Amino acid sequence: MKKKVIVTGGAGFIGSHLVELLVKKGYKVLVIDNFETGRPDNLTKIRKKITIIKQNITNYGKIENYFRNCLYVFHLAALADIVPSIENPEKYYNTNVTGTLNILKASKKFGIKKVLYAASASCYGVVKTFPTDEKNKTMTEYPYALTKNLGEQLMTHWSKVFKISTISLRLFNVYGLRSRTTGAYGAMFGVFLAQKINKKPLTIVGNGKQSRDFTYVTDVANAFYLASKSNIFHDIFNVGTGKPTTVNYIAKKLGGEKIFIPKRPGEPDKSQADIKKIIRRLKWKPKISLDKGIKLLLQNINDWKQAPVWTPKKISVKTRKWFKYLK
């Protein structure tokens, strides 16, 4: 009999790749997703092999019983946009904090073996130490980052007090197929690909010399899988490559016209994960190089043909509150 696991947010960008991996590994996968940001199309290839529950993690009474007889819970469901978190911080708190609390409550009730949490490297804020390791001070810059970090703190607290095994993975810049054109994960690639396929200029924030630690989505899914199989009771790990790359380099590899827009406050000039800990303890390493990842995206660029296309004017309007509150 197949062992049952739950993936919250399993119809999302990262979640759908994780679901595919877990199905391949022989698990019976139950996806809990309200489809606010996730898309059913992301699960088309494996739809007949999984169970999908359309439900919001903020509604404890509606999700509780699905945790019965479950081995692992992979908690990826979250709201992950910066500007909307400024506009509606309460909604972000309800989903990313209260929703996470509900996951832990149900996991405790039904004796889940381990909860794996998608934490965010945004918890580090604007850092000055590179590469950045897990002991670095956290300094959140906006409500999204704050709520994700509070979710991570809940994981740590419940491991300590209620003896629930939890592992939090602090994800740096994840990219790959199915990436959205909004959100904290993969947004830049999604924006650029939608612009390129629709013959619009690539909108580069600032001077484009800022660098990010980009990790391909299937490598991230494998990090969650290895964390679940480990004998580690509780810990926190960075997930990245340790190799920062400039936005200008990405734009050059994708090709096309470029246009520069104002730099946004609260965004770091550089991100670089120190991944020595995850290599040592989980035996995880990224397998897909950035150049190979970009090649895969360009081979599938038609996937972004119908995606929203951002223009400098649209970006200016959308980020108005960003500049107002984070200046």
- Give 53-81 pLDDT, tens digit per residue: 999 999 999 999 999 999 999 999 999 99
The correct answer on CATH 1.10.760.10 for the domain covering 181-213+242-270+288-326 is no
* DSSP H helix total and E strand total for the chain: 13, 13
pLDDT at residue 184 in the model:
47
- Asked if residue 7 lies in contact with residue 42, where contact means CB atoms within 8 angstroms, the answer is no
Query: Exactly one of 144, 175, 185, 216 is catalytic; which is it?
Result: 144
Q: Phi, psi at residue 234, to the nearest 5°?
A: -150, 140
pLDDT digits (tens, 9 = 90+) for 100-158: 999 999 999 999 999 999 999 999 999 999 999 999 999 999 999 999 999 999 999 99
What contacts 269, CB < 8 A, 6 or more positions away? 126, 209, 210, 211
**Beta-carbon-side half-sphere exposure of residue 17 (alpha carbons within 13 Å):** 17
DSSP classification of residue 7 = E
CA distance 164 to 111: 8
Closest CA to 164 of 119, 114, 226, 211: 114
Per the annotation, the verdict on 144 as an active-site residue is yes
Closest CA to 190 of 200, 176, 204, 201: 176
- Asked if residue 312 lies in contact with residue 259, where contact means CB atoms within 8 angstroms, the answer is yes
For the residues 285-308, what does the mean pLDDT come to? 96
- Asked if residue 92 lies in contact with residue 80, where contact means CB atoms within 8 angstroms, the answer is no
CA distance 273 to 118: 15
Per-domain residue ranges of the chain: 4-173+215-239, 181-213+242-270+288-326
Q: Which CATH class is domain 4-173+215-239?
A: alpha beta
Question: Tell me, what amino acid is at 257?
Answer: E
pLDDT at residue 323 in the model:
84
